[in-house]
Amino acid sequence: MSPSEETVPVTAGRRTVYLLILLILPVAALIAAVPAVWGWGIGVRDLVIMAVLYVICIFGIAVGYHRHFTHRAFRCRRPLRIALMIAGGLAVEGPVTLWAAEHRRHHKYADEPGDPHSPWRYGDSGMALLRGMLHAHVGWFYTARRRSSRAHWVPDLLADPDVRRFDAAYPAVAVLSFVLPAAAGGLWSMSWEGAWTALFWGGFVRYAVVHHVTWSVNSLAHTFGDRPFRTRDRSSNLRWVALLTLGEGWHNWHHAEPTCARHGVLRGQLDPSALLIRFFERSGWAFDVRWPDPARMERRQRR
């Protein structure tokens, strides 16, 4: 397959939108949070709203966008599928088809030419690696002149009317990501001030934190950490990234066996996303779950 069929050009206008939504606004929110927490602190109400939305977004990305929609690690009932899609959409990381298309291309070319976000793109030396990590973390959103073609990478998702409806409604879901915390804060405190501070912490700061936590899998979990399994790429395990991403930081096994529903497969590797999938399975909402096969793990493990 030629790369020209795998990718499509991106217009300058769209790249500007990516620059604003994926780079400038989150960084501005994080910068604004420093004097805010210094000056006024953050109240329990805003902390709770922020934490709840953080967990919903991270699970939406990890369990929904990533393990279910991109890798088909399990199947699920329609209401759960739609709920996972909306939860992932609240993270404001793009419609599920675009996210999955880029990610499937990442797996095909991981850390080779063609990978949309490899930290090793510019070489192994200190400065080249630093530049590569910045590229893998956020730089590629703006610098890439071509995007993964959805028709090529995710025809299965495009064939699903629910996914197409969600893609069309995506801007509204992104707005909901900020309306929800504001409404929760306003109703909880019965004040406009409560709505505003919840919008700031539970909306803008949470969206920025969710973004950078997610992107750290691309930048850090392909650079640092241990690699207990043999893979063709440099995917690695980072405990603190796994903690923040609710299991996604166990990235080495994930590249060894991308369709597996559990990423943290070794002793002591907590994977809350896998626990949630197990809960869905026990409740009868998820089925055909691809749990790790001990024999395959054994074969893949480095000696």
Residues forming the site for Zn ion (CB under 5 A): 235
Tell me whether residue 194 or residue 249 sits nearer to Zn ion (CB atom).
Answer: 249
CB of 260 to Zn ion, least distance (A): 10
Residue closest to Zn ion when measured from CB atoms: 235
Where do the H-state alpha helices sit in 135-250? Answer: 140-143, 150-153, 155-158, 161-189, 192-198, 206-219, 239-244
Tell me whether residue 196 or residue 224 sits nearer to Zn ion (CB atom).
Answer: 224
- Supply the DSSP string of 15-76, one letter for each residue: HHHHIIIIIIHHHHHHHHHHHHHHHT---HHHHHHHHHHHHHHHHIIIIIIIIIIIT---EE
CB of 69 to Zn ion, least distance (A): 11
CB of 180 to Zn ion, least distance (A): 27
Output the six-digit token pair for 269: 């590797």
CB of 98 to Zn ion, least distance (A): 15
Helices 206-219, 44-59: crossing angle, 10 deg rounding = 40
Phi, psi for residue 40 in degrees, rounded to 5: -115, -15
CB of 215 to Zn ion, least distance (A): 11
Tell me whether residue 197 or residue 236 sits nearer to Zn ion (CB atom).
Answer: 236
Tell me whether residue 48 or residue 297 sits nearer to Zn ion (CB atom).
Answer: 297
